[in-house]
């Protein structure tokens, strides 16, 4: 009854073309990029203004209806999976750049703006936005904030959290707050950092203040082939040991190379077992000197073919293959799971060998694409969902890879988030006390657990009875 009352109130306020309720209209919102999980929301609000978002959240709180905020739906962890008895608040139309200040090197944007569009707007001022996920041409800043996204260049520049200065947000009870501001220097608790990476559990970002960086004067990009993944991993250690800090270091294995070549014809050597892409960037004099050092390191690392991008077009071609690798793998398999574990860089070679062994033991192909510089693995586990039991076998292999990352001193996720996919692995990484604390913090912000209910925290940590809900409302006014 409360849900239908909410829908009735939204219908009275929102034009019908922006309040989707029919089954065919809802179908595109039933999953995000983790398509093995699906759920149909009761309705989808295509919000046109910040005020509509605030109004919708307040109505959800008044009627105790859960909601999920969604951008482009590129989450690979099921982070924007709908709730069947709730609504989706779609933010793509909130895509304005509210302010761009070249002198202070910052931009204030709405959550629905596409990541790459921020850099395009800043380019005439010689500035850009550094975090560059592979989905950069389509993912939104709001989604990047929710999952603390990184990208190929996070080795040198850090994650989304390192580039968000302030956030205007509506909390799950409808209160609008301002976290942080426009300055790099803040006092008191880092509430902005608290919100970034919270996977939508603390409400909806309405405006995000981003730090912009001067566009590098020069880039030097080198591609090297190796006869094994372990050799490529060792080359990464060699580069770091040489005192170099590239903008990016990426590795692709044979299957990923095959997929990229079939998709975008990036010109990769097809007979290589692994490719290493290393990119330096900065002032031209500094980059040229570092590149001479880098080339010597790569030549001593046992590389087969070594290729240096001669111009911007060749550099773009190299990166097009890497950034398109996830989607390109669809040419090799009808379905795949993208994992996102992290291992210490010193354990990279061991991790790759163990993934190869696990792949062979399970009889399941795994394509590896990853941010080698910070040990962020992206094994793509290939399966055919039409074959009975194939998904379950792929999930078992994915779980073994995650637990391997924990054993090696790493993490279950580097940038894709926990979402729905990795909730069951949280107890392997965190103690019961850790999880209880996370749950209590979540409930302090959202006693009714309306915002993105059921995500991140393991089942059992977020289950609250109706009586507890009512008591929580009383305790929090």
Q: List, in order of start, the domains of the chain with CATH numbers.
A: 2-90 (3.30.43.10), 97-214 (3.30.465.10), 218-327 (3.30.70.2190)
Cα(138)–Cα(229) distance, rounded to whole angstroms?
Answer: 30
Residues sharing a CB contact under 8 Å with residue 111, sequence separation 6 or more, in sequence order: 69, 71, 91, 94, 140, 141, 142, 143, 145, 204, 205, 206, 207, 208
Cα(322)–Cα(238) distance, rounded to whole angstroms?
Answer: 22
Sign of CA dihedral 118, 120, 126, 129: positive
Residue from 149, 108, 109 nearest 130 by CA: 149
Angle between the N-to-C axes of helices 229-241 and 284-300, in degrees from 0 to 180, rounded to the nearest 10: 130
Residue with tokens 């792949």: 359
pLDDT of residue 152: 87
pLDDT of residue 116: 97
Q: What's the whole-model pTM score?
A: 0.91
One digit per residue, the tens of pLDDT, for the chain of length 477 reads 799 999 999 999 999 999 999 999 999 999 999 988 999 999 999 999 999 999 999 999 999 999 999 999 999 999 999 999 899 999 999 999 999 999 999 999 999 999 999 999 999 999 999 999 989 999 999 999 999 999 888 889 999 999 999 999 999 999 999 999 888 777 788 999 999 999 999 999 999 999 999 999 999 999 999 999 889 988 998 999 999 999 999 999 999 999 888 888 888 998 999 999 999 999 999 999 999 999 999 999 999 999 999 999 999 999 988 888 888 888 889 999 998 999 998 888 889 889 989 999 999 999 998 888 888 999 999 999 999 999 999 999 999 999 999 999 999 998 999 999 999 999 999 999 999 999 999 999 999 999 999 999 997 654 443 334 333 333 333
DSSP codes joined into one string, 100-159: EETTTTEEEE-TTSBHHHHHHHHGGGTEE-----TTTTT-BHHHHHHHT---TTHHHH--
H/E stretch holding 54: helix 50-63
Report how far apart the first and last C-alpha atoms of the chain are (Å, whole number).
24
pLDDT of residue 124: 98
Cα radius of gyration rounded to whole Å, the chain? 23
CB 296 within 8 A of CB 227: no
Residues sharing a CB contact under 8 Å with residue 328, sequence separation 6 or more, in sequence order: 256, 259, 260, 262, 263, 264, 321
> How far is residue 247 CA from its own chain's centroid?
19
């Amino acid at each position: 009854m409360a849900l239908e009352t909410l829908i009735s109130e939204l219908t009275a306020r929102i034009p019908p073309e922006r309040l989707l309720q029919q089954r065919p209209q809802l179908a595109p919102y039933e999953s995000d990029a983790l398509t093995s999980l699906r759920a149909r929301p009761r309705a989808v609000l295509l919000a046109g203004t910040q005020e509509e978002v605030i109004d919708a959240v307040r109505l959800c709180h008044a009627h105790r209806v859960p909601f999920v905020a969604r951008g482009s739906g590129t989450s690979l962890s099921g982070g924007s999976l709908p709730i069947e008895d709730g609504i989706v608040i779609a933010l793509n139309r909130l895509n304005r750049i509210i302010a761009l200040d070249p002198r202070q090197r910052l931009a204030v944007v709405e959550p629905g703006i596409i990541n790459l569009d921020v850099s395009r707007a800043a380019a005439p001022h010689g500035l850009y936005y550094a975090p560059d996920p592979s989905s950069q041409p389509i993912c939104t800043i709001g989604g990047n904030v929710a999952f603390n996204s990184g990208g190929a260049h996070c080795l040198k520049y850090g994650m989304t959290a390192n580039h968000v200065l302030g956030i205007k947000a509506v909390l799950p009870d409808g209160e609008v707050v301002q976290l942080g501001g426009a300055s790099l220097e803040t006092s008191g608790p880092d509430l902005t950092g608290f919100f970034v990476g919270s996977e939508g559990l603390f409400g909806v970002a309405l405006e995000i203040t981003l730090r912009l960086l001067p566009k590098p004067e020069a880039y030097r990009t080198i591609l090297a082939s190796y006869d094994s993944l372990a050799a490529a991993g060792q080359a990464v250690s060699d580069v770091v040991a040489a005192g170099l800090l590239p903008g990016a270091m990426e590795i692709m294995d044979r299957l990923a190379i095959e997929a990229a070549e079939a998709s975008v014809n990036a010109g990769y050597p097809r007979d290589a077992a692994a490719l290493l892409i290393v990119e330096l960037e900065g002032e031209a004099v500094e980059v040229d000197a570092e590149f001479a050092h880098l080339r010597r390191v790569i030549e001593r690392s046992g590389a087969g073919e070594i290729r240096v991008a001669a111009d911007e077009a060749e550099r773009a071609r190299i990166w097009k293959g890497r950034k398109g690798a996830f989607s390109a793998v669809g040419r090799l398999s009808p379905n795949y799971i993208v994992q996102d574990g992290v291992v210490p860089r010193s354990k990279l070679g061991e991790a790759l060998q163990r993934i190869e062994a696990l792949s062979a033991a399970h009889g399941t192909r795994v394509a590896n694409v990853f941010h080698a510089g910070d040990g962020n693995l992206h094994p793509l586990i290939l399966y055919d969902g039409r074959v009975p039991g194939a998904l379950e076998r792929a999930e078992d292999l994915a779980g073994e890879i995650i637990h391997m990352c924990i054993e090696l001193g790493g993490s279950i996720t580097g940038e894709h988030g926990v979402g729905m996919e990795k909730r069951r692995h949280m107890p392997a990484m965190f103690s019961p006390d850790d999880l209880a604390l996370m749950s209590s913090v979540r409930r302090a912000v959202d006693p009714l657990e309306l915002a993105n209910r059921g995500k991140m925290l393991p089942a059992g940590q977020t289950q609250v009875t109706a009586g507890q809900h009512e008591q929580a409302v009383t305790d929090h006014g």
